[in-house]
C-alpha cells in the first residue's frame, strides 16, 4: 500500500565491486577535488586496511594532504573540530573517511563545521536547516553494519555532558560510498556477526516503523535476503570476496532504508543499554531484535508476516499459513541468533553481555526517552519496557 504521503532520499553515488577502490581517483576528479584529507584510525592503518585506500590514492592524480588517524572508537565534538582544523591547515578540498561508524560520523560532523563555520556544538539542534555542504565527501566503510555511508545521521559524543548527540540533515549524505570487499575480509567472526545483526535490525525496524514507505521497504527486504543468503557462508569462508561484498551491500541497503524510515524500539533499548551498561551496539541489537519484534507483533504482524519470505525463503513462506508467518519470522530471527551464538560466539541474553538485573529500570527509563522510540509503531509504558528487558535478561 502506498502511504498518503512519504519522502525518500538517497543521493549518495554507490561504487561497489571487488576492485572498487581503484575508482577513487575518478570519483575525486568528478567532484572537482584533488587534495583529500584521509580520516581513519590507527588500528585500521596497523591492520593494513586503511593503507589499501592510501595505495589506491597513490595511483591517482590526487595529492593526499594528510592522514588524520586519531579518531577514537567513541568520537566526540572536540575530535570533529580538530579534524576541521587539520583540513583547513593543510588546504584540503575533500574528506575521504575510511572506517566504521565512528570515523564516518566524525567526517560528517567535520563537514558541518567546514561548511558553516564555528564549532560542532554551535550547530546542535539546527542541523536540519543547514544548507548545502561545501566539502567533497567520500565514505569508505570498513565494517558491514552501520550503513552510515548512506545515512543522513551522525552520532557524536558531547564529552562535557557525557551524552551522545544526534545530527540529522540530508547535507550529511556522502557524495560517494565505496564498497570493496578487500576492506572487510579480515573482520573477525564475532564482529562480522554483530555488525550483520545491526544491519538486519535496521532493515526489520525500517519495515515496521511509522515512516516505512515503498522505497525503504525495497531496500530493507533486499538487505534481509542478502544477510540470510550470505552471513552463514561468510562465517564459513571469511575471505570470500563475493560474500563480503554481499554483506557490505546489505548493510548499505539497510542504511538507506532506515535513514528514510527510521528505527524503533530495538534501537531505543540498544542505545539505552549502551549508555547505562556499556553494551556494544551490534551485540545489543542481536539480543534485543526478537524481543522488540515480539512486543510489536500485534501492531505490525502483517508486515512481519511479509518478511518471512526474505528471512526464510520462498519454500518456508509458501508452506507457512498466512496467520502464522509473523510468529515464524520472529522464530527465524531467534534461530539465526542461536546459529550465530554457535558459529561466532554472539551472546543471546543481556545477562551474557554483562547487564545486571538492577540496571534494567535505568535502561528502561533511558529507552523510553530515546528518540527512536517515537518512530516505533507502538508506544510501551515504562512497566512494559521493564518486562521486555527482563525477558531478554
Ligand atoms: Fe544500529
Structural domains of the chain in order of their starting residue, each with its CATH number:
13-183 (3.40.50.1970), 189-392 (1.20.1090.10)
Asked if the model's pLDDT at residue 162 lies above 90, the reply is no
> If we measure between CA atoms, which residue out of 186, 164, 168, 175 comes closest to residue 129?
168
Which three three-digit cell numbers place residue 62?
590526487
**388: Cβ–Cβ under 8 A, 6 or more apart, which residues?**
265, 269, 291, 292, 295, 380
> If we measure between CA atoms, which residue out of 183, 149, 246, 188 comes closest to residue 56?
183
Is residue 139 within 8 A of residue 174, CB to CB? The reply is yes
Lowest mean pLDDT among 25-34, 86-95, 126-135, 214-223: 126-135
What are the pLDDT digits (tens) for 333-384? 999 999 999 999 999 999 999 999 999 999 999 999 999 999 999 999 999 9
What is the structure's pLDDT at 126? 78
Ligand 1 centre to CA of 267 (Å) is: 6
Ligand 1 centre to CA of 392 (Å) is: 18
Which residues pair with residue 176 across a beta bridge? 13, 138
What is the structure's pLDDT at 71? 94
What is the structure's pLDDT at 161? 78
Question: Checking DSSP bridges between strand 13-16 and strand 66-68, what pairing results, if any?
Answer: unpaired
- Mean residue pLDDT across the chain: 96
When pLDDT is averaged across residues 298-305 and rounded to a whole number, the result is 97
What is the structure's pLDDT at 289? 98
Asked if the model's pLDDT at residue 137 lies above 90, the reply is yes
Q: How far apart are CA 319 and CA 29, in angstroms?
A: 53
* Protein residues near ligand 1, an ion, with CB under 5 A: 198
Asked if the model's pLDDT at residue 58 lies above 80, the reply is yes
What are the pLDDT digits (tens) for 249-286? 999 999 999 999 999 999 999 999 998 999 999 999 99
Ligand 1 centre to CA of 172 (Å) is: 17
3-state secondary structure the chain: CCCCCCCCCCCCEEEECCCHHHHHHHHHHHCCCCCEEEECEHHHHHCCCHHHHHHHHHCCCCCCCEEECECCCCCEHHHHHHHHHHHHHCCCCEEEEEECHHHHHHHHHHHHHHHHCCCHHHHCCCHHHCCCCCCEEEEEECCCCCCHHHCCEEEEEECCCCEEEEEECHHHCCCEEEECHHHCCCCCHHHHHHHHHHHHHHHHHHHHCCCCCHHHHHHHHHHHHHHHHHHHHHHHCCCCHHHHHHHHHHHHHHHHHHHHHCCCHHHHHHHHHHHHHCCCHHHHHHHHHHHHHHHHHHHHHHHHHHHHHHHHCHHHHHHCCHHHHHHHHHHHHHHHHHHHHHHHCCCCCCCCCCCCHHHHHHHHHHHHHCHHHHHCCCCCCHHHHHHHHHHHC
Ligand 1 centre to CA of 203 (Å) is: 10
Ligand 1 centre to CA of 18 (Å) is: 26
Ligand 1 centre to CA of 290 (Å) is: 15
Amino acid at each position: 500500500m502506498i502511504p498518503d504521503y512519504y519522502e525518500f532520499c538517497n543521493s549518495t553515488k554507490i561504487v561497489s565491486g571487488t576492485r572498487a577502490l581503484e575508482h577513487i581517483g575518478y570519483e575525486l576528479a568528478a567532484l572537482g577535488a584533488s587534495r583529500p584529507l584521509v580520516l581513519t584510525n590507527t588500528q585500521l592503518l596497523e591492520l593494513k586496511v586503511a593503507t589499501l585506500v592510501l595505495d589506491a590514492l597513490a595511483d591517482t592524480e590526487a595529492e593526499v594532504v594528510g592522514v588524520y588517524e586519531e579518531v577514537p572508537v567513541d568520537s566526540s565534538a572536540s575530535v570533529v573540530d580538530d579534524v576541521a582544523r587539520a583540513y583547513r591547515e593543510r588546504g584540503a578540498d575533500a574528506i575521504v573517511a575510511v572506517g566504521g561508524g565512528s570515523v564516518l560520523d566524525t567526517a560528517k560532523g567535520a563537514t558541518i563545521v567546514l561548511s558553516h563555520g564555528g564549532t560542532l556544538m554551535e550547530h546542535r539542534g539546527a542541523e536540519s536547516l543547514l544548507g548545502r555542504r561545501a566539502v567533497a565527501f567520500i565514505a569508505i566503510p570498513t565494517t558491514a553494519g552501520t550503513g552510515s555511508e548512506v545515512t543522513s545521521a551522525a552520532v557524536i559524543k558531547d564529552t562535557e555532558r557525557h551524552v551522545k548527540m544526534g545530527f540529522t540533515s540530508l547535507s550529511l549524505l556522502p557524495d560517494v560510498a565505496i564498497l570493496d570487499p578487500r576492506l572487510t575480509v579480515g573482520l573477525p567472526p564475532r564482529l562480522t556477526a554483530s555488525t550483520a545483526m545491526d544491519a538486519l535490525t535496521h532493515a526489520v525496524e525500517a519495515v515496521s516503523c511509522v515512516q516505512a514507505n515503498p522505497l525503504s521497504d525495497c531496500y530493507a527486504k533486499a538487505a534481509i535476503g542478502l544477510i540470510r543468503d550470505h552471513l552463514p557462508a561468510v562465517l564459513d569462508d571469511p575471505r570470500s570476496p563475493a560474500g563480503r561484498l554481499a554483506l557490505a551491500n546489505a548493510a548499505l541497503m539497510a542504511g538507506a532504508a532506515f535513514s528514510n524510515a527510521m528505527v524503533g524500539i530495538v534501537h531505543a533499548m540498544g542505545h539505552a543499554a549502551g549508555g547505562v551498561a556499556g553494551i556494544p551496539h551490534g551485540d545489543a541489537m542481536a539480543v534485543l531484535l526478537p524481543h522488540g519484534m515480539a512486543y510489536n507483533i500485534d501492531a505490525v504482524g502483517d508486515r512481519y508476516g511479509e518478511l518471512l519470505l526474505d528471512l526464510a525463503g520462498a519454500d518456508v513462506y509458501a508452506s507457512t499459513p498466512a496467520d502464522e508467518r509473523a510468529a515464524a519470522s520472529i522464530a527465524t530471527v531467534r534461530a539465526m541468533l542461536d546459529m550465530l551464538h554457535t558459529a561466532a560466539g554472539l551472546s543471546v541474553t543481556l545477562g551474557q553481555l554483562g547487564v545486571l538485573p538492577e540496571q534494567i529500570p535505568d535502561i528502561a527509563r533511558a529507552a523510553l526517552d530515546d528518540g527512536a522510540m517515537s518512530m516505533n509503531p507502538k508506544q510501551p509504558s515504562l512497566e512494559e519496557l521493564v518486562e521486555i528487558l527482563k525477558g531478554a535478561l
